[in-house]
Amino acid sequence: MGKLVLAAKITHVPSMYLSEQDGPHKGCRQAAIDGHKEIARRMRELKVDTIVVFDTHWLVNSGYHINCAPRWVGLYTSNELPHFIKNLPYAYDGVPELGHAIAARATMAGVHTRAHDATSLGLEYGTLVPMRYMNEDQAFKIVSVSALCTVHNLADSATLGAAVREAIEQDFAGNVAILASGSLSHRFAQNGVSEQFLHKVWDPFLEAVDRDVVDMWQRGDWKTFCGMLPEYAVKCHGEGMMHDTAMLLGALGWDQYQGQAEVVTPYFGSSGTGQINVVFPV
């Protein structure tokens, strides 16, 4: 059957797209872009054919949802930051059968999840930004999972993550990568001073905790991290309440996971938020 071959927590900051444009910020996010390209290189080396993205820009207010349309084509402009991401073209293939398999297994595990294939749902930029740098040739098919979960329990998101792995291994034929697309701390810079924080974290407390978390990941101290995740998500403004991270760790074994994370793009500040690209050995 299928196999999970790569797992990562990745940035999707819109300044990556801005970094491509001529002007004062050209090249400002080259390290993050290079990190995405390195992860993509590894995926190709591992013969990945499908990527499941836990997208913290897909907001849902009830249940869990999977976008597994057979094909997406469009132009995307962010309603949140239209001056950063505008008219971004995209075209990718989806995998309806994997989306439905994940939804079925998560629902059987007690976490009601719906898969949407006959849908006009577009992709959000938590998926589109990394795919721009990882999937330029459309070599990988995509399944996108809602991870900006407003009224959900992190434990349920971990259960959904475990269901993703079960579906990959028992219901699917292929090599799959999973990407938790979201920041660490996510306190945006206050309006009016955002330009001053383009390369900074909003508060020293947030940066200190983020760096401690990365150290835990590198040491493999998952019991401590999983235990503190609910408070970390609240007190450090975790993006999407860190549901993407809970899903990722659920797929890897939660606090029983024994891997030691490898930092691909070192921690950096972006518009007040804390960002990183990290690979979690499967």
Q: State pLDDT tens for residues 18-59.
A: 889 888 889 889 999 999 999 999 999 999 999 999 999 999
Q: Is the pLDDT of residue 232 over 90?
A: yes
pLDDT level of residue 259 (50, 70, 90 thresholds): very high
Tokens 């590198």 locate to 218
Nearest to 201, CA basis, from 276, 273, 265: 273
Q: Calculate the CA 227 to chain-centre distance.
A: 21
Give, in degrees to the nearest 5, the angle at Cα 170 between 144 and 173.
Answer: 70
Q: Calculate the CA 37 to chain-centre distance.
A: 15
Nearest to 202, CA basis, from 272, 115, 104, 137: 272
Q: What domains, with CATH codes, occur in the chain?
A: 3-280 (3.40.830.10)
pLDDT level of residue 87 (50, 70, 90 thresholds): very high
Q: Compute CA distances 278 → 11, 38, 227, whole Å.
A: 9, 11, 20
68 half-sphere exposure, CB direction, 13 A CA radius: 20
141 half-sphere exposure, CB direction, 13 A CA radius: 18
Q: Is the pLDDT of residue 190 over 90?
A: yes
Alpha-carbon span 205 to 157, nearest angstrom:
27
Please give the structure tokens belonging to residue 229: 């995740």
Three-state SS for 141? Answer: strand
Percent of the chain scored above 70 by pLDDT?
100
pTM passes above 0.85: yes
Q: Where would I find the H helices in 69-119?
A: 96-108
Alpha-carbon span 8 to 264, nearest angstrom:
10
Nearest to 264, CA basis, from 82, 24, 7: 7
Q: Is the pLDDT of residue 254 over 90?
A: yes
Q: Is the pLDDT of residue 279 over 90?
A: yes
